[in-house]
Amino acid sequence: MAIAKAERLMNLALCLLGTRRPLSKRELRGSIEAYLEAGSDDSFNRMFERDKDDLRELGLVIETVENLDGDVGYLARRDSNRLPAVTLDAEEAAALGLAAKVWQQARLAGAASGALQKLRAAGLPEEVDPYEPHSALEPRIPVHEAAFEPLMLACRDRRPVVFDYRKANAARPEARHVEPWALECWRGHWYLAGWDRDRGAERLFRLSRITGKVRSRAGKFTAEVPDVVTVRETVASWAGEIADRSAKLKLRAGAGYPLRAKATAVRELGDGWDELEIPYGHGMDAWLVEFGPDVVVLEPAELRADVVDRLRAVAKG
């Protein structure tokens, strides 16, 4: 919405809410600067009718009243436009508190904090601890990636985007044309689910691998947005969380604690190395590459080959 129109609608709403009696078109025109500059009566009438319809579409209840002189007047009674009292239980308050944490490093951090203060003023109990029953732990949802905010807005507004993306086994990033569906945080990393137009399929993107700016594109979505987007389940599968096989790894002592947490057996090999047996599934090779020289795949051979291929691709880059 253009700034001039937004200001005009705001001024009209304030006039209608602030009056104790119905105001005629003539009185409204004399009170709002934009209407004074409208030119002819026909131009003003068309502008006023559009503005009145827009305000009603936004939810403002505007009454039309005929006064004693036969003129038509307009007003918006405060009691008809007052929102009901805000009532939140402990779980809902906790959800709002945690949602505000998402913005702790983002540009809207101040807005989120202000929203919580307004909710408390409206009756949200300040003594509610959103982190109970584990009050000793404070969850943090980092939003360090510059791509987060433009992608969040694109998901909300259903706008296609384009960005450069570097896969784990790729030497260089490549452009991706995506219809963004949903953002979700898993294990400290943000992921975007959406429709990849170039590949004609649903894809998942890790925000930390997006390079450069996220650029919006005109036009509508070409693919239907699913009712449920299983971001976490897909990432868990790709990260080997859904395991259907077992691998043996050689891991440097004192390193790879996430791998140790998943191990079903650990044996000391000496010389600063341990041997781990670990269940894994699709995408395990990409995860192991992140540990660099601290891990060596002993078996199976196909997993070892996949890890070596990925490390060679990174080395070439």
Q: Digits of tens for pLDDT over the chain (317 positions)?
A: 456 788 889 999 989 988 888 888 888 988 888 888 888 888 899 999 999 999 998 888 999 888 656 788 998 988 888 766 667 676 776 666 666 665 555 555 555 556 656 665 555 555 444 444 444 444 555 567 788 889 988 998 899 999 999 886 677 889 999 999 988 877 677 889 899 999 998 888 989 889 989 999 988 899 998 887 777 777 666 554 566 788 999 999 989 888 898 899 999 999 999 999 998 876 678 788 888 899 999 999 988 998 888 888 777 76
Of 185, 190, 236, 196, the residue nearest 209 (C-alpha): 190
Residue 125's SS3 state is coil
- Confidence (pLDDT) at 130: 46
204 close to 168: Cβ distance less than 8 angstroms = no
CATH architecture of 3-80: Orthogonal Bundle (1.10)
**What CATH number matches the domain at 148-232, 2.40.128, 2.30.30, 1.10.1330, 3.40.50?**
2.30.30
- Confidence (pLDDT) at 230: 76
| pTM of the model as a whole | 0.45
- Confidence (pLDDT) at 36: 85
48 close to 35: Cβ distance less than 8 angstroms = yes
**Cα torsion at 114, 119, 123, 128 (round to 10°)?**
-90
Q: Which amino acid makes up residue 187?
A: R
Sequence-distant (6+) residues with CB within 8 A of 143 are: 102, 103, 104, 105, 106, 149, 190
Q: Which amino acid makes up residue 53?
A: D
- Confidence (pLDDT) at 204: 86
For residue 226, whether the previous peptide bond is cis, meaning omega lies within 30 degrees of 0, is no
Name the residue ranges covered by the structural domains of the chain: 3-80, 86-132, 148-232, 245-316
Residue 296's SS3 state is strand
174-186: strand order across its sheet: 201-206, 189-196, 174-186, 161-165, 210-216
- Confidence (pLDDT) at 136: 44
